Structure 1
Amino acid sequence: MILRSLYLLLALWGAIQPMRYFIGWLSRHDWSLQSLIDAWFATAATTGLMWDATIAAVALVVWVLAETFVRRNWSALVVIPVTFLIGVGCGLPLYLFLRTRPVT
């Protein structure tokens, strides 16, 4: 129970913390998604972080799909759009939260 609560708290933190930066940045740059994407690839450091997050997101999606078809936990598929629209910092703990719910 404590572990599940921790996963849920991490998922919420993983949604809120990055969004604070993204929304602030977008509001200062006329809500341009293209400018945000350009900023992600502006330096070698940000490009490396972007690729790291992308690879982690793809690995998480592969894991979610593989386990969903075995476990028939169809509600876990919500993690896929969450991961790509919010980020791995929200998607991974959300998946762990959904995966560790009691089996009925």
Structure 2
Amino acid sequence: MRYLYLALAVWGTIHPMSWFIGWFNANSWDVMAMVDAWHANQATSGLVWDLTIAAVALTVWVIAESVRTRNWAGLIAIPATFGIGVSCGLPLYLFLRSRADT
């Protein structure tokens, strides 16, 4: 399972980032324009809020578990979640967390 989590973290980095980079290349790397695009309609706004709430929940869980288990490496999943996305942060955290199980 551990390497499946790692593969998902890599996929969760490459696949979304390829879309983001393509969008940025077409839109002059304007971050605020991307934020506007995320809120182009109610469906995309709903998705943004869904992912934001999931990212916050993941962050709370990562912090709570890292403090409890003293597995500080798991904290790397927080910037990965907010810098790349939940699609990277969650499987990355599961990969780092599973290290203690091996």
TM-score bracket relative to the smaller structure? over 0.9
Q: What CA distance in whole angstroms lies between the structure 2 residues aligned with 1:55 and 1:49?
A: 10
Runs of at least 4 residues off by over 4 Å: none
Q: Which residue does 1:83 correspond to in 2? A: 81
**How many pairs does the alignment contain?**
102
Q: What CA distance in whole angstroms lies between the structure 2 residues aligned with 1:43 and 1:94?
A: 31
Q: What CA distance in whole angstroms lies between the structure 2 residues aligned with 1:4 and 1:103?
A: 9
Q: Which residue does 1:41 correspond to in 2? A: 39
Structure 1 residues 72-104: Cα deviation after superposition (integer angstroms, max 9, x where no partner): 001111111000000000000000000011458
Q: What CA distance in whole angstroms lies between the structure 1 residues aligned with 2:30 and 2:73?
A: 32
Q: What CA distance in whole angstroms lies between the structure 2 residues aligned with 1:7 and 1:85?
A: 18
User: What are the within-5 Å matches in structure 2 for residues 1-104 of structure 1?
Assistant: 3-102=1-100
Q: What CA distance in whole angstroms lies between the structure 2 residues aligned with 1:10 and 1:75?
A: 18
User: Structure 2: which 5+ runs fail to align?
Assistant: none
TM-score, with length taken from structure 1: 0.95
Structure 1 position 69, deviation (Å):
0.5
Q: Which amino acid in structure 2 is aligned with residue 98 of structure 1? A: L
Q: What CA distance in whole angstroms lies between the structure 1 residues aligned with 2:20 and 2:96?
A: 26
User: Structure 1: which 5+ runs fail to align?
Assistant: none
Q: Which amino acid in structure 2 is aligned with residue 88 of structure 1? A: V
Structural RMSD (CA): 1.1
